[in-house]
Structure 1
């Protein structure tokens, strides 16, 4: 309803937003209460069912499995980062064949489950033992550890290639033009001008991909790699104590939290010049 004041029609007052904000706040408090209750329930269960003998017996196995998980994730992530560079360059190439092959690679490994890819490499290629033995590659594909590294490397390379391509595309075209005006070579331009800006954009997506890779690493227990989840399954099969899985979940959660904190610290350090400005 409009009113007039001194001959000027007043505009209708905007609808109040306070009720909408209060509902969102109440919902947030409810969810926080639910999560707090779940966390307290887990803590109570662990304290009430604490079994020192179980920890002493399987603790070293958990440590060994954790080390296997860390090695698998780190090796696969680094190898995938190296492989992602030519794939990302192929996605941006003017050559239609290179662009098509890169697109097909990314499309396949991003569009199919990591578990299926691992099975295809471990069980699928394992059925070609005579052919692989003839070319001297059976030693590689008969080992579940190597097959897991290969599957994870190919999978994360597809995601990292898209992260890298998007980060490079986010750098304004004027940066390339300014570097060309200064007479910088393409390699120097990429290394000194484009890459530092692109890495700021890609930092969080890269860490998100690392976290997804860490959580996805649990599937290698299915192909007899005794990582953290593999040791957890073995501990549960021998003890039938459900807290073995809770401890594994807490270890994964702690690793993710360490990555999150490290990312925030790195981002604050890398963007300090922007915040000062």
Structure 2
């Protein structure tokens, strides 16, 4: 690989590194909370509430993220009500905002299924014991159900975090200059397709290695009392 190309490509692609991190953190923060709400809704005895959560999960997990991005960015922008509403246009009219929304809504669907599995894995006896001690449902959820569910769901959720990082590369299709967006621009200038995207891939790998390490450290901390 040409040294001059490396000196040109690395600083250029690094410009998109911070935006990739911002997209990931914002999407995960929104998507986790929304996914938790959907997971609780799925376990509701109310058919309408559980049916809505199930339908949401089915739609967003059953359609490609790229299609969702295009529908939000190009499709909703054609609706007069969206264009005339300042709040909606603030979300849809900006590529970064739209990418965060699409990534968050997408990961929320997968997160809801992961957390639902974690919640279902909690033994019913623990919840009954907490209620017998006088704990309210909210206090029981905060102190017992949720921490245990997170411990069970963390390995699978770690994989979802990696998928979110890789999913940010699709934001380049709606004019967002994250790592892949800068790579496409640099490729059109240098025509060094292999070299440019090899460096871009290494940056994504670096981000994911850091994420995986953090998830494993958190998992080790949460399971430090569990016999190996």
**1:259 corresponds to:** 211
With normalisation by structure 2, the TM-score equals 0.94
The answer to whether the aligner puts 1:132 opposite 2:91 as a matched pair is no
Distance 2:146 2:92 in 1: 36
Q: Which runs of 5+ in 2 are unaligned?
A: none
**1:116 corresponds to:** 67
Distance 2:70 2:10 in 1: 29
**2:196 corresponds to:** 244
Equivalent residue pairs, number: 226
**1:85 Cα shift?**
2.3
Is the CA contact (8 Å cut-off) linking 2:82 and 2:89 kept in structure 1?
Answer: yes
Distance 2:221 2:93 in 1: 44
With normalisation by structure 1, the TM-score equals 0.78
Distance 1:213 1:190 in 2: 27
Is the CA contact (8 Å cut-off) linking 2:187 and 2:196 kept in structure 1?
Answer: yes
Aligned residue runs from structure 1 range 61-210, under 5 A: 61-128=12-79, 130-136=80-86, 137-210=88-161
**1:263 Cα shift?**
2.2
> CA-to-partner distance for each residue in 1:152-187, whole Å, 9 max, x for gaps?
111001111111111011000000111011111111
Looking at both structures, which has the greater relative contact order when contacts are Cα pairs under 8 Å and sequence separation is at least 6? 2
**1:260 Cα shift?**
2.1
Q: Which runs of 5+ in 1 are unaligned?
A: 1-48
The answer to whether the aligner puts 1:60 opposite 2:11 as a matched pair is yes
Residues 138-147 or 91-100, more deviating: 138-147
- Structure (1 or 2) with the larger CA radius of gyration: 1
**1:36 corresponds to:** none
Distance 1:74 1:260 in 2: 14
Distance 2:216 2:62 in 1: 30
**1:138 Cα shift?**
2.3
Kindly report structure 1 stretches of 4+ aligned residues shifted beyond 4 Å: none
Distance 1:262 1:219 in 2: 24
Cα RMSD of the aligned pairs, angstroms, is: 1.4
Change (3 A) 1:133 1:189: same
Is the CA contact (8 Å cut-off) linking 2:35 and 2:109 kept in structure 1?
Answer: yes
**1:15 corresponds to:** none
Distance 1:213 1:164 in 2: 16
**1:57 Cα shift?**
2.8
Is the CA contact (8 Å cut-off) linking 2:77 and 2:83 kept in structure 1?
Answer: no
